[in-house]
Amino acid sequence: MQSPDDPVETVESGAHETDHLLEKDLDEVSYKSFDDSESSKLSIASNRSGLTYKKLSDGFFFWTATILQIAIVGIAMLISEIELVFEFTGTFGCATVTFLFPAVAYIKSLNTYGSNRQREKTETLLYLLLAWFFIAIFVAVLFLYFYLLFVRASGKFNEDASVVGANGTV
């Protein structure tokens, strides 16, 4: 027979493991239960509301939401070509997710959580340069998008000329 201090052998999917965890008496653990109304008001980590908009006054929230809704509907009525909206959101969204977010996250996490020892590594310097290169690519993509938009608006860009035949003719 095994004593309580000996590790417990368990068999899971054919593998033998040793459990070195001590068993806790359930009376020692205090669980605080929340009903639905309490859990919707409180965040897990604090006793304050986890929803930022609940900190705003009702009047401020109402007028901000109303002005934003009017602006969205107004812009939607003024834009005659939906292609422009899709081009902008596609360009900005893809460039942001692909280049800007990873670069900013790396730089922010390195500054917040990185130790001096990590910052002094050559590998970290290369990753930092790569992060700044990603930010430069993000700026370049947006610049090229707006450049193309202005060239189209000026009439200098002929979309038919972009398709060239095998013999070089249009």
Q: How far apart are CA 102 and CA 96, in angstroms?
A: 9
Residues of the chain with pLDDT under 50: 8-26, 28-31, 43
* pLDDT value, residue 91: 92
* pLDDT value, residue 164: 54
37-47 residue pLDDT tens: 555 555 455 55
* pLDDT value, residue 153: 85
* pLDDT value, residue 22: 45
The DSSP element (H or E) to which 105 belongs, if any, is helix 101-113
* pLDDT value, residue 155: 83
Q: Answer whether 142's CB lies under 8 Å from 95's CB.
A: yes
* pLDDT value, residue 132: 97
Q: How far apart are CA 84 and CA 56, in angstroms?
A: 34
* pLDDT value, residue 61: 86
* pLDDT value, residue 16: 47
* pLDDT value, residue 14: 47
